[in-house]
């Protein structure tokens, strides 16, 4: 049974308390609070973590590095604020098939909308935290109050919650705060690191500019235009890298995600290729010149349109409640730019 929908204004009633005093700073470490010692229990309040110096303004805490993935993931139209914390003297190792992150790494992503239910200014809904401890990666979710001043820890094994929101245009829509299992379903694809926004094909410009400080050596080239045959294909690859390839990477042993959509093999694994399993619909992944007849377009775009009655499952399968207008545009342009196989 799906989780109940909670009007966002009611969320503030449960989270209206204010956190206690400032987080403690450790000697020789610019970071403060929990991010300086993530072996400790997660604090009940976001203001005690050291992630933000001022939660109300999302001002980064000491030691934070702000970044934006090269190919941003669609998240229902939310704006996302991302931060990286590395322990002093450590670096990301980009030399393997998957980037290796040192123990003590903390990654943060806060989700906000420009306007909700007539309130002024940006409204932050949630902050997701991913951290690498000595015994593995841990996940956390903080729910924000309606005033945007504080956020409370969701708990050790939290469940998904559905909210009914209203955007700047007055349109009402559903928004799901993910449960812990939702986070793990995306971030724990076999054969990969849980970090999706800093990876082989996701090299944020802000981190590349500080490569000497943040990486053990310069990351490998990740330019898509050198692999694509056209600007339309490069745009399609960019969308797929952001939204699909972290699961469809060729290393997943699951039947439906066993094929790779990573840039070097994107074309050969999609154009004219039949789907592998009836569990996700039968068809051809990309039919040149025919977006509506392509399984990729159907799964990503048509499955989330009102009245869809086909056999395909919506893709990506989790964390999406609204159709991505960029997907519809980018995928259609690419597929229709391809010459049909029966063209003279």
pLDDT, tens digit, 9 for 90 and up, residues 140-198: 999 998 888 999 999 877 777 877 777 666 667 777 777 766 666 666 665 567 898 99
Q: What is the pLDDT of residue 5?
A: 37
Of residues 61, 66, 69, 67, the one with CA closest to residue 43: 61
Q: What is the pLDDT of residue 51?
A: 97
Q: What is the pLDDT of residue 29?
A: 84
**Token pair 């592998």 in the structure block, residue:** 276
Q: Where are the domains positioned within the chain? A: 5-214, 231-337
Q: What is the pLDDT of residue 9?
A: 35
pLDDT, tens digit, 9 for 90 and up, residues 261-317: 999 999 999 999 998 876 678 899 999 999 999 999 999 999 888 888 888 888 887
pLDDT, tens digit, 9 for 90 and up, residues 164-176: 777 666 667 777 7
Q: Which two tokens stand for residue 208?
A: 């590349």
User: Which residues fall within 8 angstroms of residue 224, CB to CB, at 6 or more apart?
Assistant: 201, 234, 237, 238, 241, 263
Average pLDDT estimate for 214-234: 93
Of residues 261, 292, 291, the one with CA closest to residue 276: 261
Of residues 283, 304, 303, 305, the one with CA closest to residue 294: 283
Contact status, residue 314 vs residue 61, Cβ threshold 8 Å: no
Helix (H) or strand (E) holding 140: strand 136-144
Average pLDDT estimate for 251-255: 57
Average pLDDT estimate for 255-260: 67
pTM summary value: 0.83
Q: Which two tokens stand for residue 10?
A: 């009611």
């Amino acid at each position: 049974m799906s989780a109940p929908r909670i009007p966002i204004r009611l969320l503030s009633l449960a989270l209206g308390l204010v956190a206690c005093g400032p987080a403690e700073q450790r000697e020789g470490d610019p970071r403060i609070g929990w991010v300086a010692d993530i072996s400790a229990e997660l604090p009940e309040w976001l203001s005690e973590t050291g992630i933000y110096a001022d939660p109300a303004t999302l001002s980064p805490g000491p030691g934070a590095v702000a970044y934006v993935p090269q190919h941003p993931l669609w998240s229902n139209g939310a704006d996302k604020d991302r931060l990286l914390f590395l322990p002093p003297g450590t670096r990301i190792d980009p030399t393997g098939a998957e980037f290796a992150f040192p123990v003590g790494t903390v990654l943060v992503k806060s989700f906000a909308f420009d306007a909700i239910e007539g309130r002024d200014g940006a409204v932050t809904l949630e902050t997701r935290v991913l951290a690498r401890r000595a015994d593995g990666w841990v996940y956390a979710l903080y729910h924000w109050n309606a005033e945007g001043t504080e956020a409370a820890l969701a708990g050790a094994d939290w469940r998904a919650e559905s909210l009914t929101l209203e955007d700047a245009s007055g349109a009402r829509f559903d928004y799901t705060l993910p449960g812990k299992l939702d986070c793990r379903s995306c971030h724990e694809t076999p054969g990969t690191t849980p970090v999706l926004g800093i990876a082989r094909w996701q090299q944020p410009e802000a981190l590349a500019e500080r490569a000497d400080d943040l990486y053990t050596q310069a990351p490998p080239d990740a330019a898509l235009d050198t692999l694509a045959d056209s600007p339309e294909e490069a745009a399609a690859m960019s969308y797929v890298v952001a939204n699909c390839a972290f699961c469809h990477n060729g290393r997943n042993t699951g039947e439906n995600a066993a094929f790779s959509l990573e840039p070097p093999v994107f074309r050969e694994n999609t154009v004219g290729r039949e789907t592998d399993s009836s569990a996700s619909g039968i068809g051809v992944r990309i039919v040149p010149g025919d977006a509506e007849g392509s399984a990729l377009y159907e799964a990503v775009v048509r499955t989330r349109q009102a009245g869809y009655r086909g056999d395909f499952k919506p893709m990506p399968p989790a964390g999406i409640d609204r159709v991505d207008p960029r997907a519809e545009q980018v995928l259609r342009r690419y597929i229709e730019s391809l010459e049909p196989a029966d063209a003279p």
